Amino acid sequence: MLSTDLFTQIGLGHYLVLSALLFCCGMAGVLLRRNAIVLLMSIELMLNAVNVSFVAFSRYLGQQEGQIMVFFVMTIAAAEAAVGLALAVSIFKRFREVNIRYFEHLKG
Amino acid sequence: MPLGGVLFIVVFLIAFGCLMLWLASKLGTQKIADPVKYQSYECGIPVQEKKDTKISVKFYLTAILFIIFDIEIIFMYPWATTFKDSLAAGQGLYVLLSMGAFLLIFIFGLFWEVKSKALEWD
Amino acid sequence: MNHPILMATLLLAPFVGFLINGLRYKRHSANLAGVIATTAVVISFISAILLVVDLVGLPPETRVISVKFFEWISVASLKINAGFVLDPVSAIMILVITGVGSLIHLFSIGYMHHDAGAAKYFAYLNLFLFNMLILVLGDSLPVMFVGWEGVGLCSYLLIGFWFTDDQKAAAGMKAFVTNRVGDAAFLLGMFILFLSFGTLTFSEINQLAPTDPTLAWMNPVTLGTLFLFIGATGKSAQIPLYVWLPDAMAGPTPVSALIHAATMVTAGVYMIVRLNPLFLAAPNTMMIIAIIGALTVLLGATIGMTQWDIKKVLAYSTVSQLGYMFLACGVGAFGAAMFHLMTHAFFKALMFLGSGSVIHAMHEEQDIRKMGGLKKYLPITHWTFFFGWVAIIGLPPFAGFFSKDEILAFAFFSPLGHEALWAVGALGATLTAFYMTRLMALTFWGKSRVPKDTHPHESPPTMSIPLIVLGVLSIVGGWIGIPHVIGAILPGHPENFLEHWLHHSIKPIPGLTPFDVTTEWVLMGVSVTLAICSAFVAYHMYVQAPQKPEKVAKAIGPVYKVIYNKYFVDEAYFAGIINPLVKASKGLWYYIDVNFIDKTTYVISDVVRGGGSLVRSLQNGNIQVYAMYISLGLVATLLFLLVR
Amino acid sequence: MGRDSFEIIVNGVKMIVIFLMMVQVVPILVWLERRGSAFIQNRFGPNRVGPLGLLQLLADAVKFLTKEEFFPEKGIKFLYYAAPVSALIPATLAFLAIPLGAPIKLDTFEMFGQTWGPYTFLIQGYEIGVGIVFILAVSSLAAYTILMAGWGSGNKYALLGALRASSQTISYELAMGLSIVGVILLYGTFNLTDMVTSQQGPLSFLFQGHTVTLGWLPNWGIFYQPLAALIFYAAAFAESNRLPFDLAEGEAELVAGFHVEYGGFKFNLFFIGEYGHCLVASALMVTFFFGGYQIPLITPDEMLVHVQGLMGAGNAAAIVNGLLHHVVFLIKMAVFVWIFIQVRWTLPRFRYDQLMDLGWKTMLPWALANTILTAALIYVAHT
Amino acid sequence: MTPDVFLFWFLALTTVLAALGVIISANPIYSVLSLVMTMVGVAAIFVTLGAYFLAGVQLIVYAGAVLVLFVMVLMLFDLKHEIHAFTRGPVTGAIKIAAVGLLGGMIVGAIALSANSLMKTENNGIQTVIEGDSTKALGKLLFSQYLFGFEALGVLLLVVAVGAVALARAKGGTHAQH
């Protein structure tokens, strides 16, 4: 059982739980914060959580593919941050505010 | 294990810094209260109270471009370490050309940025 | 030389010309566009010659060059390649198309030089040639159909080239719609053939074609060939779908020469020749083809006698001559059909171009009543037109004589033919001699009726050179197919070259016995005599006694009226098909579409909109709420996975 | 007391020693810089306190410690204090990852009544397999120190200075990272120790299947990667925000950059951090391009044999050999540190747009060209 | 408790606390700094998993580049303390928190339930763990099997560079005030 191993040996389960917790933190941020930039940061957090589980699987299943995926995810996350922040700056220039509700004006 | 060493030295450095700051605050001369002294230092003239400090968008544009090019450079690192091995394995040309294609995109991006004057500071 | 490259050059040269002129049609001057287009076609012509030379070099049994460029369609058992095949039949066609095409392009440079849209015109013309070559060279029915539709499109575009004139635009539309009927039948025929044979490649269909003819009507071979023939009547202007061709004369005259006389309209004939083993297996279809062909000969010839528009006369003459080709196909004389196709292409293109030259000289006047005596103004045009005339009325030894008489002989002797068919053909030849002489007489001979303010002038060299070349071809074009009876008495005994050439591509008519030499001489003499007599009558009526025709017309009043009004076929179509169709469509639109379908959709859309306005509150544009839905969905999914 | 604990303690002490050494070098550098600049500018410089003004350092330290504690009224307390504390971290972490001397291989020996070893003692804080990546990673964290200081001071000059400094740092980080690609291509590894060992002996390389040897030149990276060395060193100047790249401080327009509101020991910590960057850059120059701790043309093992010839085999010889190489390293490093100082006092400043142009439009393309050229040459040489 | 276990728990705790800091602190600057802390923690966790190169990349890309950009943008905006840091709406708020809580609980529960099988995979996998120079293996894989993805990312980055510059320069599309 996990409980006996909890403080004696670290296994895949530990990393997965850590990843899940980080993911939930990120998700809470996405759901609850109003500042668009904090939202973007929360998304980065979620992506990182996924990366943790990727690397953990890669290590414990002995496959390099997981690390490649992490590499790609990082790249895409950075690209997303760049474009997201560029958008945020545009919004800020227009409304002097980065509250997420201003992004609703993008519809229609 | 290097990680333990790194963590140890980080903790040590923080402790060292805090200790020094604490020492300095203890050893420092007594404070002489003067409201003007604690104002922001702006070369002596009265502090300008302005709501928004105008900061050029250029700074942040530079940072965005930095991210992008930084990642492209990071991509070259695994290539650079394996290049000689690939040569020995007889796949040199293939690996060289695949990185060549990537570099072509990189150069095109750089060229575009220069061309579009995104890197000009006025 | 490399066959795929030559084939690609042959096909793509006009297409490249089309692209060059088509993409920059606003920039190119008429002359530049003309030179580009003509060069493209000449390149095509040269590659065609090179290819045919290679083809001649092959042994007669395997005289086929086939090139496969890529796999076009591959669905289950249906595999169609973008493949092209050059055999003796298509060799004749590509030479005619690119050769006559080059001449007509050359002619067009002079003819269109004053037109603002010349570059567009040349682009269309090149596109037409590209499609025509695809049609001719395609190795399967679908590939041919691509070209078939392509030439239809170009024909539409070129008939309506001066689209600002409503009548001309309408003529283009008429051609297009009429062709659609034929194309639908063509497609049906194709489907039937695919259902029964499982392939659409010509060579395979011809191999699979049953060797013993079947007389059943509801047989896939009969039905398939019948539908294909209906498709051919659309493209080749046969009864009942010929009505578009006379109207198609609204286009520029070189277009009429190229598309509506020499090449496109012969596509139907060519298609039947291509599938000759299949058609031979369906005697019922053959009978219908022969009868339709014969009727069309008469119809075209009679209407041609009464028309006053120089191009309309030629148009009906084309309909009539195409009737001869179908008659030949119908009696199984596919070689004769190809022969007549070729000679007709020469002399009819010549006559159309000549008429173009005349129209050009007369400042866009087409009414032959306002011409006459043009011989002295337009000597080159006259003499070339004269050779066209002797060719079409079938005077030996000019081109038309050999091909027409071969058809008539086959109609008489072939087991699929009938004496009546020969009689109709001979009557058609008589009438042809009459109306063509009438045309010559009214246009070039007799007294000038030219209005005082027009000053006819001979055309520039770019226009007269093609006329001369075609004139020569009209004289000598028939000599490649000299019948045995004549060959036997000529010095050196020239053999029937064309028959040899086509020997392996065309299936012999089952049960054909060698022709009886005496009978053949008699038949030949009868038709030639009839034609000469009729020509003299016409010459007399229109040159020596110009008041006579009116008297004759009055004497046979009602008949003349019917013929003059083209048998009221257009009117009948309007009353019988088009108007009911329009009325029914309007009814359908009002009762079915507006009152039923629209109302139903309104009800549906009202329900959806009502539901949507309920659901819309969920979709408030706030991405965080959307994210909440996603996470709730995740929770639900996980819950399901865990509980399961 | 187990062996593990002993090793952990030894390593911990070693790291602290290296750190303290680094911190202690800073006052010497300050003295050197002040004397050096005075020499360049025909002045005396500090010469009152102690012989040659050497005790000036001590006086400065005392002065720093006894300055009044100060906090600007618009500052943000946490950031304001966190910035100087974290200023030391990147440079120290990077410095500890660099091999400073040949590893000392100890045989078994007796101590505290126990037998220890055999034991390999690295003159290096910790050996990291991906050394270069680690150093780049930790030095990229230096931007936060600057940004925290600029933001935490609540002063617009400080903020502008911080933005300029971090913009400049990241711009030159590209050229630096790209010039390192050439180095990695050359050595085929991220490991700094492996790099150093592959530079041992005389210059010799493989070309089209033939081994070319130049016995009178050491096998240093500078001979393979001169352009990379130049770009790396220039970028290192810019990264440490020193003249001619000290736009972040720009006394005329920005007063003193991001540390305008700092004084006393807090300022001193920034100062140590800055000099730490100089040291790291010089150490990396030595490691990448100048054979690391190795004595030219002689490998450490050969040297060990010589030393053993003098002192007899034993742990003492090993220790002397290690320290000897460490001294060699320090000498090489001192050369580059001196160039730092010399450049600072001889070259004029850039304008900010010129600075950015240099980074993006000159050094980055050249570094790129170097990478392509290196790859092509390696390809040609190995096929 | 071996050093490995201690390290893991220490890093995990630091990382999760820092992550909580990201979403809780009302001042976005502290959010970013917490995020930097999280990234550093994640990098350290990568090291415990043997992914040294990735740890370095994590630091260079995230901590050294992306988050610097975040900090710069925040400075550009000069947003200090936010009065309404969290979204309003008690009902949706409750649903959101419940969703997050349920999701987290369920993932953790699922992992706990399947702990036995996870341990098994661990035992199976532990022999195949690549202990050697994983960076080289990474590079070889990247340039053989994942070459297309690699080149595609190159194009993506180019597009991002162009797009970000265009966006940053835009004077404000259809909603422009001027």
Test mutation, E102, E111, E113, chain C, max C CBs within 10 A: E102
B68 touches chain A (CB under 8 A): yes
Contacts of C109 (CB under 8 A, 6+ apart): C30, C31, C34, C35, C38, C462
Residue A23 forms part of a structural domain? yes
Are D136 and E72 inside 8 Å of each other by CB? no
Option in B20, B40, B84 nearest D155 (CB)? B40
Kindly report, residue by residue over B32-82, the tens digit of the pLDDT.
777 777 777 766 666 666 555 666 777 888 888 888 889 999 989 989 988
Contacts of B68 in chain A (CB under 8 A): 78-79, 82
Chains D and A touch (3+ CB pairs under 8 A): no
Q: Which of B69, B81, B101 comes nearest E136 by C-beta? A: B81
Contact C540, C433 (CB under 8 A): no
Is A in contact with E (3 or more beta carbon pairs below 8 Å)? yes
Judge contact between C587 and C329, C-beta under 8 A: no
**CB within 8 Å: A79 and B68:** yes
Are 3 or more Cβ–Cβ pairs between E and D shorter than 8 Å? yes
**E residues 65-124 closer than 8 Å to B (CB):** 65-66, 68-69, 72-73, 75-76, 78
pLDDT tens profile A64-95: 888 899 989 999 999 999 888 888 887 777 77
pLDDT at A2: 47
Neighbouring chains to E with at least 3 Cβ pairs closer than 8 Å: A, B, C, D
Task: Say how far residue B5 (Cα) sits from the centre of its chain.
Answer: 24
- Mean pLDDT across chain D: 85
Domain boundaries defined on chain B: 2-115
Backbone angles phi, psi at D122, to 5 degrees: -90, 135
**Per-residue confidence (pLDDT) for residue E105, from 0 to 100:** 82
- Per-residue pLDDT averaged across C530-541, rounded? 89
Tokens describing residue C557: 């009043």
How many whole angstroms separate alpha carbon E18 and alpha carbon E21? 5
Between C93 and D48, residue with greater pLDDT: C93
D160 touches chain B (CB under 8 A): yes
The rounded Cα C295 to chain-centroid distance in angstroms is: 18
> Across the interface, which of C622, C628, C631 has its CB nearest the CB of A101?
C622
Q: Which residues of C touch A (CB under 8 A)?
A: 620-624, 627-628, 631
Specify the CATH number for the domain of residue A52: 1.10.287.3510
Q: Contact A75/E112, CB-based, under 8 Å?
A: no
Using CB atoms, pick whichever of A30, A101, A103 lies closest to residue C627: A30
> How close E77 gets to chain B, by Cα (Å)?
8
**What does the pLDDT average to over C243-270?**
89
Partner C contacted by E108 (CB < 8 A):
no
Res. C326 pLDDT band, cuts 50 70 90:
very high
| d(C-alpha C560, C-alpha D54), whole Å | 133
Instruction: Tell me: pLDDT of D267 over 90.
Output: no
A6 pLDDT higher than 70: no
Query: Which residues are within 8 A (CB) of C611 and not within 5 positions of it... i.e. 6 or more apart?
Result: none
Q: Is residue C137 predicted with pLDDT exceeding 90?
A: yes
With tokens 């286009």, the residue in question is C251
Of B57, B60, B71, the CB nearest to A78: B71
Query: Do C259 and C154 touch, CB atoms closer than 8 A?
Result: yes
Q: Do chains B and C touch (3 or more CB pairs under 8 A)?
A: no
As a whole-number percent, the residues of chain C with pLDDT over 90 amount to: 31
E72 vs D contacts (CB less than 8 Å): 147, 163, 166-167
* pLDDT of the residue at C446: 82
Report pLDDT digits (tens) over C62-89. Answer: 888 888 888 888 887 888 888 899 989 9
Question: Distance between CA B13 and CA B17 in Å, rounded?
Answer: 6
Q: Which subunits sit against C, judged by 3+ Cβ pairs under 8 A?
A: A, E
pLDDT at residue number E87 = 65
Is cis: bond before D348, omega within 30 of 0? Answer: no
List the one residue out of E86, C619, C621 whose CA is nearest residue A42. Answer: E86
CA A76 to chain centre: 11
Classified as helix, coil or strand, C468 is: helix
Q: Where are the domains of chain C?
A: 1-139, 140-564, 570-643
Question: Looking at the complex, does the CB of residue E13 fall below 8 Å from at least one CB of chain B?
Answer: no
D109 phi and psi angles, rounded to 5 deg: -145, 160
Q: Tokens representing D29?
A: 């550098």
Question: Residue C210 — φ and ψ, nearest 5°?
Answer: -60, 140
B9/D190 touch (CB, cutoff 8 Å), yes or no: no
Task: State the smallest CA–CA distance between residue E59 and chain B in angstroms.
Answer: 11
The minimal CB distance from B72 to the residues E44, E72, E154 is found for E154
- Average pLDDT of every residue of chain B: 82
Question: CB distance B10–D89 less than 8 Å?
Answer: yes
- Rounded to whole angstroms, how far apart are CA atoms D99 and D284? 10
CB burial of residue D176 (10 Å; 0-12, 13-18, 19+): buried
Residues of A in contact with C628 (CB under 8 A): 31
- pLDDT higher than threshold 60 for residue A1: no
* E23 in contact with chain B, both atoms CB, cutoff 8 A: no
Residue ranges of E strands in D18-173? 101-106, 109-111, 114-116, 119-123
pLDDT-above-90 percentage for chain D: 15
A10-14, C305-309, D110-114, D268-272: range with lowest mean pLDDT: D110-114
Q: Give D167-214 pLDDT, tens digit per residue.
A: 888 888 889 999 999 999 998 888 898 899 888 888 888 887 788 888
Cβ–Cβ gap E107/C638 under 8 Å: yes
To the nearest whole Å, the CA of E64 is away from the closest chain B CA by 9
**Which chains touch D (3+ CB pairs under 8 A)?**
B, E
Is residue A5 included in any domain, yes or no?
no
Q: Residue A42 is part of which domain span?
A: 10-106
B103 Cβ under 8 Å from any chain A Cβ: no
Looking at residue E12, what is its pLDDT?
92
Three-class DSSP labels, C435-464: HHHHHHHHHCCCCCCCCCCCCCCCCCHHHH
Neighbours of A, requiring at least 3 CB pairs below 8 Å, are B, C, E
Q: Minimal Cα distance from A102: which residue of C?
A: C622
Measured between beta carbons, the chain D residues lying within 8 angstroms of B121 are 352-353, 356-357
Report pLDDT for E16: 94
Rounded to the nearest angstrom, the minimum Cα separation between E67 and chain D is 9
Across the interface, whether the CB atoms of A31 and C627 are under 8 A apart is answered yes
In this prediction, residue A108 has a pLDDT band, given cuts at 50, 70 and 90, of very low
With an 8 Å Cβ cutoff, are E39 and A48 in contact?
A: yes
B2-115 in CATH: which number? 1.20.58.1610
Q: Which residues of chain E register pLDDT less than 70?
A: 1, 78-89, 115-133, 170-178
Q: Which residues of A touch E24 (CB under 8 A)?
A: none
End-to-end CA distance of chain D: give it in Å, rounded.
56
Are E29 and D163 in contact (CB < 8 Å)?
Answer: no
What's the gap in Å between the CA of E168 and the closest CA on chain C?
Answer: 23
Q: Which amino acid is at A9?
A: Q
Number of domains in chain A: 1
Q: Regarding predicted confidence, which is higher, D69 or D96?
A: D96
Give the pLDDT of residue C361. Answer: 85
Task: State the smallest CA–CA distance between residue B64 and chain A in angstroms.
Answer: 6
Enter the tokens of residue D76.
Answer: 């943000």
The answer to whether residue E65 neighbours chain D at the CB level (below 8 Å) is: yes
Q: What is the ipTM of this complex?
A: 0.77
Mutate to test the interface with A, among E9, E17, E66, E69 (most CBs of A within 10 A): E66
> Tens digits of per-residue pLDDT, C261-288?
888 999 999 999 999 999 988 888 999 9
Is B106 part of the contact surface with chain E (CB cutoff 8 Å)? yes
* Contact E/C (≥3 CB pairs under 8 Å): yes
Share the mean pLDDT of chain C: 88
Q: What is the pLDDT of residue E176?
A: 40
Nearest to B81 among D71, D190, D364 (CB): D190
In terms of CATH architecture, what is E1-82? Answer: Up-down Bundle (1.20)
